Structure 1
Amino acid sequence: MPTGRSGSPHPARRRCPPELKERAVPMVQEATEQSGESFGVITRVARQLGIGSESLRDWVGQARIDGGQRPGTRTDEAKRIAELEREVREVRRANEILKAA
């Protein structure tokens, strides 16, 4: 089983720069259009860019959701939901403090 530097069973996750995502997704779309097939395109592009194929697959899937080509939660909606959940936690915490006073 491969280990990361810390000896854990999984290598440390490193975040890819947004520019890489912005470049990789159109590369997959372009390669799919050129070949007329989608099989193997993500793996090939991921290998060319030195990134994980599953990461790229997730990015492409999210881009399709954001573009309305697939159902799902858009990126902007997910951010808004996270903000609202954070706000609810803060309000609940404040309410608990007020109840205790």
Structure 2
Amino acid sequence: MILYGLKNCDTCRKALKQLPDARLVDVRGEGVPTEVLTEALAQFGDKLVNTRSTTWRGLSEEERAGAPLNLLQQHPALMKRPLIQTVDGLFLGWDKATQAALLPV
């Protein structure tokens, strides 16, 4: 299980604490493989881009209008976190639905 996120993100830390077998990939340092980003965009669409982030607010209107894949490659911190990759597929965020799917009962 791979958790794509930021090492200093509170939500990512909560998820890692509950998923001890997960490996954190810091998107600022290592990035997200293009094929994973493409699959995540196909599955989650616009929800993958965190429009409430500080990074998003710092972008110009012209930059915001760019293709989501390019935006996420240029500004990895724009991705909603965590993006969790398992053998069963991709999960976005650390909400109740994701927890129910990934945590043992």
Q: Structure 1-normalised TM-score? A: 0.23
Point out the structure with the larger helix share.
1
Q: Which has the larger radius of gyration?
A: 1
Structure with the higher strand share, 1 or 2: 2
Q: TM-score, normalised by structure 2?
A: 0.23
